[in-house]
Amino acid sequence: DVYKRQIYGNVVIERDNIVVDGAGYTLEGAGSGTGIDMSGRRSATIKDIEITLFEIGIYLQGSSTCTISKINITLTKEYGIRLESSSDNTLFGNNILSNTGYGVFLSHSSNNNLSDNTVANNDDFGVFLSYSSNNNTLSGNTIANNDGYGVFLYDSSNNSLSGNNITNNLQCVMLGHSSNNTLSGNTVANNGYYGIELFYSSNNSLSGNNITKNWHGIY
């Protein structure tokens, strides 16, 4: 029964070193607040849950070595997943779809691994790394049909983007005030403006990328 698999309200993770298995249930809000708050946690895991109708789907602040996997996040107003001052976390196999704001947003966060996620059909940026978000890895993600930039790095360095499919976004992959990043083996196609754009950015490495059918290739 679908109604028996519906949970209303917010969840706050209050312990470290635990696993929260949603077992396919749906966590539904009323358009405000945070679906799951993992702030301050260490080595906590959440998996297999649908999250919908919050301002923020999942929030990590000051969190480390946490894992977020097999989560579907839809219809949030600001962020699907937001990491702030958080490090060494893993986001794997999640679907972040049809949110009003950003898909995934990292601020002052380092050494996080985002792999095999689908970030699509969001009304703002797909993935945004900002303000000294360094040494993060984005690999094997599908970032598509977002109404802002597919991937935006601002004031962020030493990050690695490899093997991602970044397609059909309104704008491109953007590096602004960011240095020493590596972009390799990505497909960057059918984006509305440039494929890859660099602005006040230096010492970045671009190799083996398939950059095609954008308005311009590299700018």
Pairwise CA distance, residues 210 & 217, whole Å: 10
Run means of pLDDT, 10 residues per run, the chain, 219 residues: 75 97 95 97 98 98 98 97 98 97 97 98 96 94 96 97 96 96 97 93 97 92
Which residue, chain included where needed, has tokens 């494929």? 195
What CA–CA distances, in Å, run from 106 to 21, 124, 154, 196? 24, 14, 10, 20
The rounded distance, in Å, linking the Cα atoms of 173 and 188 is 8
- For residue 2, the model assigns a pLDDT of 53
Q: What are 106's two structure tokens?
A: 């990292």
Which stretches of the chain are DSSP H helices? none
Nearest in space to 209 (alpha carbons), one of 165, 172, 171, 146: 165
How far apart (Å, rounded) are the C-alpha atoms in residues 63 and 60?
Answer: 6
- The amino acid that residue 33 corresponds to is G
Give pLDDT, residue 5.
77
**Around Cβ 3, how many Cβ atoms within 10 Å?**
5
Global pTM reads: 0.96
Coil, helix or strand for 4? Answer: helix
Distance CA 22, CA 28 (A): 13
